[in-house]
Amino acid sequence: MRSALFAVTLAAICLACQPVLAQDIPPLSKGQMLYVPVYSHISHGNLDHRGKASELLLSTMLSLRNTDPALPITVTSVRYYDTEGKMLRDYLAKPLVLAPMASSEVFVEHKDKSGGSGANFVVEWNSERPVNTPVVESVNAYFFGTQSVAFTSPGRPIAAQR
């Protein structure tokens, strides 16, 4: 028993002493097209008599964050697509300039289930000079009474500016 406790304690100490590895700094960029997963609902629970799981509707906040401390970026497009790939709406009537270290957001209400479980945003941004790539992610959430669900989905580059 003592040797098992010693082994567990030693393993915990070894893990705690491991160096924390920083993420690689992404290269500077003049623009990208980003794919951001969104979940307007998630399936959960058991299957009913028709073979369907229960669905929980979620709201989504798309967060757009300029991480460059010196230069602005311009968000040129924020398009929302459903599970089948049909564009539902473009959230920008005109380009959005984000000052250095500035943020903006787009919100999809929890009652809007038009996107489905495979909904997504495609965000395009650019800059006149190479900058730190922005952080673009969705925050998918449901809060009601004592129940809550919240998780993020990071944006992924699918094309670089040419």
Cα–Cα distance measured from residue 127 to residue 150, given in angstroms and rounded to the nearest whole number: 32
Query: Whole-model pTM above 0.95?
Result: no
- Condensed to tens digits (0 to 9), the pLDDT of residues 96-107 reads 999 999 999 999
The amino acid at 27? P
Cβ–Cβ < 8 Å for 137, 36: yes
pLDDT tens for each residue of 129-158: 999 999 999 999 999 888 899 999 999 999
Q: For the chain, what's the residue count?
A: 162
* Closest C-alpha to 66, from 20, 99, 41: 99
CB atoms within 10 A of CB 102: 15
**49/52 Cα distance (integer angstroms):** 7
- Digit-by-digit pLDDT tens for the chain (162 residues) are 555 444 444 455 555 555 555 677 889 999 999 999 999 888 888 888 898 998 889 999 999 999 999 999 999 999 999 999 999 999 999 999 999 999 999 999 989 989 988 999 999 999 999 999 999 999 999 998 888 999 999 999 999 876
